[in-house]
Structures are given as C-alpha cells and as structure tokens.
Amino acid sequence: MKKWTIILLTLPIVYDLFAQPSIVTQHADAGRTGWYNHEHKLTTSNVKPGSFGLLFSRPVDDQIYAQPLLMRHVSISGKGNPNVVFVATVNNSIYAFDADSARITSPYWQANLSPSGARAVKNTDMNPYCGAYNDFSGNMGIVGTPVIDTLANTIYVVVKSYSPTNGFEQYLHALDVRTGAERANSPIKIAAQVTGSGSGSVGGIINFDALKQNQRSGLLLLNGIVYIAWASHGDCDPYHGWIIGYDAATLQQKIVYNTTPEGYKGGIWMSAAGIAADDSGNLYVGVGNGSVGVGADPTNLTNRSESALRLTPNGATLQVTSYFTPSDYQYLENIDGDFGVTGVLLIPGTNRAFAGAKDGKIYLMDRDNMSGYQTVDHVLQIFDQFNSNAHNLTSLTYYGGTSAAFVYVWSDNTPLKAIPFNRATNLLDLGNIKTSALQGPVGYNGAFLSVSSNGTDDSSAILWTAYAASGNANQQTRPGILRALSAADVTKELWNSSMSAADNPGNYAKFNCPVISNGKVYLATFSNKLNVYGLMDPITGVKKEETQSLKIVPNPASSHVTILTGDKTISSIRVYNMAGMIVYSAQSSGTEFEFSVSGLAAGLYFIEVITDNDILKGKMVVR
C-alpha cells in the first residue's frame, strides 16, 4: 500500500515535463481553431465525476467579456517565473493571477485603465442616442479579447471610457505583463478617418466614432502590427466596420480600413472571435449587416458587408484580395442575418475557411478563391442546419485527430454537431455528421467551444463547451454550464459542472470560450470571478496542485525530508497543511534543502518552493 501511494504522489512530476505553450490570443491561435494540442494531463479517462472539478475561483471587479489569456514563466519580481492568467473586466480592469496555485490568492498585479476622472462606458450611456441597449447589463469597458506579445512581454488591450470633460473615448494600451506598467507611448487614443460619402460622413470624410463603435472581436498581433476590429452597439446608426492597425513597438497608427466608406454599417463583431490570419500575412474577417457593393453593382469592393473577406496589407490600408458574399445577402440584410457571426475558422494545413450566418448556414470556402458574389453560390460546400432558430452565435472549433478530423458547431436551439473533415479531399463529410443528444443552449446565444488534446491522440481529445444552462442569454444574465465530451465521439459526455454543486460555475459569460492549459480549464463568468477547474487527487479527493521538476525524498517521511530542484536555485520554501496554514517556512540559496518533519502530525502536506525562475509545487506524506 505504501509503494502505491508513493507512485501516485510522484506521477505529476513526470507529467510536467511536457508543458503547454502560452495561450496569448483568442481561441488559441491566429486560425481561431480553438484547438489546444499540447495538453498532456487531461484525458477522456480522468475527466470524470470524482476526479475532475472546480479547484478555485478568483474574484474580479465586474463581468468578464474578454477571454482570459495565459502566459507561461512570467518573470515576476520576488516570485520567480510563475504561469500567469490575465483577466480583463468590463470595468476596464486587468488582473494578473497565478495560473496554478490555489493558495496564491492575490493577483501579482492589477490595474484599472480608465483615464483619470473617467469611468467605463455603461449600457445606459447609449439611451439618449439609440434607446435602451440590453446586450450588456452594465459596464462595457474592456470587451474584446487582448493579445500578448511574449517576446516583448507586452499585453495589448482596448479600453472604452467616458468622462464629463472628454466624453466618450477609446484607447489602446500596451502593458508590461510582469508589472502592469504602461509601455512607452501607451496609452494611445484611438482616432481614424477615411474618405467617403457613406453614413455619418461630413464633407466627404468619415471619422471613427468612439461612442458607437463596439470593439467586440479579439485583437490580432501579426508581423509587428496590432490589428483591432470594430462593429456597433446594437446597430446604433450611423456606424461602419473598421480595422485599425498599430505598430506593436511604437503604437504608431499604420493601417486604417473601413468596410463601407460609400455605404452604411458593415460591422465586424463575429460573436467575439478574433481576426484570423494565415502564414502569408493575410487577415480574414466576417462582416455583418450593411451595404454590399455600390449602386447596382454588388461586386464593387468599395462596400463589403454580409461577406467573408481576405484582406492583404497594402500600404496604409487593407485590400480585399478574395471574398465571398452569399447570393441571398439581401435576405440576410432584411432579417438581421449577419454573415460572419461565427467568425472565420481557418482549417490547419489547408487553404480552407469556414464561416456562417444567422440563418443557420455555414460555408466551406477556398480562401484563395472564395468565389466572390454570384447569383448562385459557388463555394465548395454549404452546411445548412435547416432551422431558422439556429442563429450560429457560436464558436466554430476544429480538431485534427488520428482517426478523423472534425469541425464542431453548436448553435442555439439545435444539437451539437461534429462534422467530419476529409483530409484527403479537404471537404466536409456531410453524410457522417455526429450529433449529441444533450440539451443545448436555447434562446439567442449558442455554445462556445474549445478542444484540448495531446497532439492527435484521440484518447486525450476533449471538447469543452460553455453556454447558458437555461433561458435566453442574449439580453439576460443566465446561469452557466461547462461540459466535457469526447472530441472523437461527441455522443459521449465525460463530465459537466451540474453533476456536483461544488462545481457550479455561476453566471454564463456570453461569447467566451474555455481556455485549457497544463491540466486546468479556465472559465470566465458574469459572476465577477474566474473559475479554474482541474484534476482532483485520486487518494485524498482534495484539489490537486501541480509540480514542476520537484523531488521530495523520502516520501512518505518520518524524520527528515530533502527537497531537490535540479539546477534551480531555491529562494524560499513553505509547507502547508490540509487547512492551508503554513506549518514551516525557510530561506535558502542552493538546489537542495533538508529539514525535519518530526514535529509535524501524520498526514498530507503541500510544499511550495520559490526558485530563481519558477514556482515549484509538490506533496509530502508524513507518517
């Protein structure tokens, strides 16, 4: 029995040799696949009731609309190199929390980015201009997911604020991920203009409107440029779709693109998906309701709403180099059927792009020749859900497994579907769709999905889904649910947060995808907290702490214990009992440390070692 105990306690040390990369952009990567394929701890066999659940939560000052981001080995002064999860709220606040430890409860740093004398913009601020606006329930400061430059140790985020003196303003901030301090030239006030006679123009000029332009989609960092896209707040006219690019080092404005300079609307919001990009430096976006073409010519590229666009940097703007506009764009316009509501998913290793509209249709396109506008659609394939209530307010997600590849869709009012993607033909296998029997989201908001796996190992592949457990989350705050299903067979549910009251996530965070890293799942909420789920200890049933290259010998112990950290220099050691109380602490300057445990009661203890460049954790049994 003692031998078996030792094996279980030391297994996490082996697993941590396979650490995940940082998650620095919305939905995992620039292709917006949502596939986290470096997960070596969570599998379809250990994510189950009794061994997986809520580990800890971190309170924040408001709702979380932006997806959390995670950076590994951040150099925090006096704290080593911990993994850090960054959380932004609609109160214009950012928090940097320890991503792994349940005991490090305080943020390493936090900052409120509203300018002096200003506050976050509120939904009621829209009332004098556009009437009641209920898509937000209160503040709507930081909404779009930030992006991190790991080489420059910088996080970029857009902040919306109001003050009686300056009115409505939006700023791009560049913060040091280690301290929260502003980088040089940060923040920069967002302002832009293009020539055009479209809606809201004055003297042939359209100016960016900080009040009406909603920065909802995730930011993109590409080739040294931070790209930011805007739509509107509740179709509050006049507005346009904008993409503005800033030099990541200097914050100098480099790119300005407007989707409808001679027309109206054309917002880029994509249910909060980030701007996608390929390896050649092209950008991909879905554009919602608005003008298509100019006059009687729907192919004119000047106005490009209700479309999927490939945009290529061209001097100080972006050029449409490929696009698709569905033949029924006018119907979509009439029913508020926003094309691109799903965002644009780029399928890895191919030239395929996937995007849909609120009418339930999803289109597979050749991104090098999207087929433009024709009176009969000539895209590669159309997946039609034949359900007028399947509005596609969801996150398209991809997994390229050993046995098969899948694209996942879980629209509101329709079942979850795993659509096989044939890697030989680069087409969807629409005749062999797998459908889940689970009760999904209802109302006007779908499920938001991510996949974790150890490469292409199907036994490790898990589809994570977050959505409102009941009711219509479009303009209401509703309770949420987190589910885990086999990504290779979505008819098999592994676990969900309603199986135990202790795992209740609180209120669902609209348009927010789960984030998976290093054995943990990070879930934003509208309950003013970040939840962190993970594996529970198989012996004690208590919450598991991760270990990184830490050896504890002997273990179990009765008299003395030696801590070994390899080549890492120990700064300090703390030992916690099961109640979370520190029962021993010491300073050190070597890579080994011995101490007596003879004064400790028999039982399980947690060891935390701060080194010169890391925080290592382990468990010790005293007998």
DSSP string for residues in 61-124 = SS---SPPEEESS--BTTTBS--EEEEE-TTSEEEEEESS-SS--S-SEEEE-SPTT-EE-BGG
Residue 585 within a domain: yes
Residue 565 within a domain: yes
Cα distances (Å, whole numbers) of residue 74 to 150, 177, 248: 9, 7, 19
Cβ(509)–Cβ(525) under 8 Å? yes
Q: Is 294 helix (H, G, I), strand (E, B) or coil?
A: strand
Cα distances (Å, whole numbers) of residue 45 to 466, 485, 541: 20, 11, 17
Amino acid type, 155: I
Residue 581 within a domain: yes
Amino acid type, 339: F
Residue 549 confidence (pLDDT): 58
Give strand pairing partners of 14: none
Farthest-apart Cα atoms in the chain, separation: 87
- How far is it, in rounded angstroms, from Cα 401 to Cα 454? 10
Domain count of the fold of the chain: 1
Range of the domain at 583: 547-622
Residue 616 within a domain: yes
Residue 447 within a domain: no
Residue 331 within a domain: no
Summarised one tens digit per residue, pLDDT across range 278-335 is 999 999 999 999 999 999 999 999 999 999 999 999 999 999 999 999 999 999 999 9
Q: Is 129 helix (H, G, I), strand (E, B) or coil?
A: helix
Residue 395 within a domain: no
Residue 228 within a domain: no
Name the pLDDT band for 170 (thresholds 50, 70, 90). Answer: very high
The CATH code of the domain that includes 580 is 2.60.40.1930
pTM of the model as a whole: 0.86
Cβ(434)–Cβ(490) under 8 Å? yes
Summarised one tens digit per residue, pLDDT across range 588-623 is 888 889 999 999 999 999 898 887 656 788 889 999
Question: How many residues would you count in the chain?
Answer: 623
- How far is it, in rounded angstroms, from Cα 557 to Cα 411? 54
Average pLDDT, the chain: 92
